[in-house]
Amino acid sequence: MIKFLLKCVLLIGFGSAIAATKPEDIKQFTLKNGMTILVVEDHSIPNANMYLFWKVGSRNEVPGITGLSHFFEHMMFNGAKKYGPKQFDRVMEANGGANNAYTTENLTVYTNWFPADSIEKMFDLEADRIQNLAIDEKMVESERGVVTSERSTGLENSNVRMLMEEVKGSAFRAHPYGWSVIGHQSDIDSWSLKDLKDFHRTYYAPNNALVVISGDVTLKQVKRLAKKYWEPIPAQQEPQKVRTVEPEQKGERRVYVQKPSASSANIMFAYHVPETSHEDYYPLEMLANILGNGDSSRLSRSLIDEQQLATSVFTYFPRAFDPNLFYVYAVAAKDVDAKKLEKALIKEINKVIRDGVEAKELAKEKNSAQVDFYRTLSTINGKSNTLGTYALFFGDHKKMFSAVQDMGAVTAEDIKRVASAYLRKANRTVGILDSAEDSQEEDL
């Protein structure tokens, strides 16, 4: 019966015109325990998702427990009261669902994707691990091995990962953004059961979460299930604020990483920039794209195409609750000296500071933002992930819908201003990864 019904929904879904999601299609409600839930009804496929955004990431850690947020992302799958070890995944998959999770400096996000008719099971599974996670000692030990493998495979396979860890560590000397999300190996080896229990109680409280559900569901159904499964979970005291403010950087910092198997130099620049809710966010994001996003970007055109000094370049400007970094990355072409590439990068950045950007570059960014917005709206996952991101980093999910307009308001002058304000030498950390030993010959 249900299967038959599903098929009908499916056929109707494809046959009729489905309109793109509008701001008024997003429904929001808050449970008595403070848990906020956004719902997007989208019947284009007979599936739905559930994105749980927990406001905890590596910025909430302290020395000794670095990497614990990410470790928790793993532990949340290792058994609770009703659903014991392995049961979360087994029950979910047997119900046609799949899941994943990711941790950043700011957030831990759990993602469930499932046939819409399994939705009640998803609420049940989540309620169990939110309220009654069993932190079993044996599981903790085995999971340390898994995370250690994850850490080392990242370092083994990715120069970016290896270099970034060092650059962040140098760019921040006070704020927790200084350590990598995966944490120090010594902390992974040694955090205690008590550390884990405290962490779960503090951060996995319903009042510290935002949930977005998109897909073939109804608001009424979601409300009923949320009340039944999640509202009984008690709220906790608000977690402590992150107090540390990174002191101003007074001059360029440099790090060098030797990796014998590197075949050419990798360079990373990191500049301190404000938090995402700051008014300079969009000018900086557009600057990041103009510099390093795609073949037509300035760095790509100049360093890869014209001068052939690099084989790849990109910029990375992550969203953040606290002031964080604006990254520029380049991989040198064979036999190109790191110094030469570094100079060429700086020259391009300085051009923006000196001459600003062209009107057509601005127009390009605005047009791309519009098309990308539609790409986001074309999947239920794009909707959930992006709505959650805007709600948390910009303070309101509706900002997702005005993003294109907000970018439209940015002027060439704004971009020149932020480039001059932030992409300065004194505000920069330079990291170089290469195969040679950091030789002391010149010192002697």
Partner 1 sequence: MKLVKRIIGASLALLSLSSMAAFKIPVYEKYKLDNGLEVYLMQQTEVPLIDISLTIKAGAIHDEKSYGLANLTGESLMFGSGKLSKTEIEDKLAFHGAELYSSTGMESSDLSMSIAAKDQKEMLKLLQSIVLKPKFDKDEFDKFKKRLSNQLIQRRESPRNVIGSVFGKMYYGEHPYGNPVIGDLKSIEKVKLDDVKSFYSKYYTPNNAAIIVVGDFEKKSMKKQIAKLFSNWKGQAPKAKVLPLVNPKTDSNVWIINKEDATETTFMIGGKGINSSHPDYVAAEVINTILGGRFTSWLNDELRVNSGLTYGARSGFSDHSVAGSFAISTFTKTRTTFEAVDLALKTYEKLWEKGIDAETLASAKAYVKGQFPPDFETSGQLAALLSRMWVLGLDDSFINDFEAKVDSLNVESANKLAKKLFPRENLQFVLVGKALEIKEKAKNYGKIKQMDIDKFTY
Is residue 26 a contact residue for partner 1 (CB under 8 A)?
no
- The nearer residue to partner 1, 47 or 207, going by C-beta atoms, is 47
Within positions 161 to 180, which residues make up the interface with partner 1, using CB under 8 A?
Answer: 161, 164, 180
The reply to whether 405 sits near partner 1 by the rule CB under 8 A is no
- Pick the closer one to partner 1 by CB: 30 or 308: 308
Residue with smaller CB distance to partner 1, 180 or 207? 180
User: How far is C-alpha 92 from the geometric centre of its chain's CA atoms?
Assistant: 24
Q: Which two tokens stand for residue 214?
A: 């998109």
List own/partner pairs for 331-337 with CB under 8 A and 24 or more apart: 331/159, 331/264, 331/265, 331/266, 331/267, 332/264, 332/265, 332/266, 332/267, 333/264, 333/308, 333/309, 334/263, 334/264, 335/264, 336/264, 336/265, 336/309, 336/310, 337/265
Residue 105 or 285 with smaller CB distance to partner 1: 105
Selected from 192, 218, 378, 405, the binder of partner 1 by CB under 8 A is 378
The owner of tokens 């989208």 is 42
Site for partner 1 in 289-308 (CB under 8 A): 294-296, 301, 304-305, 308
**Cα–Cα distance, 115 to 357 (Å, whole number):** 47
Nearest one of 105, 125, 134 to 52, comparing CA atoms: 125
CB of 66 vs partner 1, minimal distance in Å: 13
Q: Provide the minimum distance between the beta carbon of 222 and partner 1 in the complex, in angstroms, as a whole number.
A: 19
Q: Are 70 and 182 in contact (CB under 8 A)?
A: yes
47 versus 429: smaller Cβ distance to partner 1: 47
384 binds partner 1 (CB under 8 A): no
Residue 130's Cβ-count burial label (10 Å; 0-12, 13-18, 19+) is: buried
Distance CA 330, CA 268 (A): 7
Distances (CA, A) of 157 to 162, 178, 332: 9, 22, 17
The alpha-carbon radius of gyration of the chain (Å, integer) is 24
Could you say whether residue 390 binds partner 1 (CB under 8 A)? no
Tell me the window of 29-37, 101-109, 198-206, 417-425 that interacts with partner 1 (CB under 8 A): 101-109
The verdict on 437 binding partner 1 (CB under 8 A) reads no
Among 31, 37, 46, 112, binds partner 1 (CB under 8 A): 46
d(CA 175, CA 244): 6
**What is the CB neighbour count within 10 angstroms for residue 242?**
16
Does position 438 bind partner 1 by CB under 8 A?
A: no
Which of 30, 149, 192, 411 is the binder for partner 1 (CB under 8 A)?
149
Residue 141 as a binder of partner 1 (CB under 8 A): the answer is yes
Which member of 1, 2, 4, 19 binds partner 1 (CB under 8 A)? 19
What region does 79 belong to: left with phi over 0, alpha with psi -120 to 50, or beta?
Answer: left
User: Of the two residues 38 and 188, which places its CB atom closer to partner 1 in the complex?
Assistant: 188
Spatial distance between the Cα atoms of 392 and 443, rounded to a whole number of angstroms: 50
Residues 183-242 that bind partner 1 (CB under 8 A): none
Binders of partner 1 among residues 252 to 291 (CB under 8 A) are: 259-264
Answer yes or no whether residue 321 interacts with partner 1 by CB under 8 A: no
Residue 375 CB, nearest approach to partner 1 (Å): 7
Under the binding rule (CB under 8 A), the answer on residue 17 touching partner 1 is yes
Question: Can you tell me which of 175, 364, 416, 428 binds partner 1, judged by CB under 8 A?
Answer: 364
Three-state secondary structure readout of 297-351: CHHHHHHHHHCCCEEEEEEECCCCCCCEEEEEEEEECCCCCHHHHHHHHHHHHHH
Shortest gap between Cβ of 1 and partner 1 (angstroms)?
15
Nearer to partner 1, 117 or 231 (CB): 117
Of 332, 298, 302, which Cα lies nearest the Cα of 315?
298
| 412 is a contact residue toward partner 1 (CB under 8 A) | no
Contact between 101 and partner 1 by CB under 8 A: the answer reads yes
Distance between CA atoms of residues 9 and 46, nearest Å:
7
Q: Using the rule CB under 8 A, is 98 a contact of partner 1?
A: yes
> Under the criterion CB under 8 A, does residue 22 sit at the interface with partner 1?
no
Total residues binding partner 1 (CB under 8 A)? 97
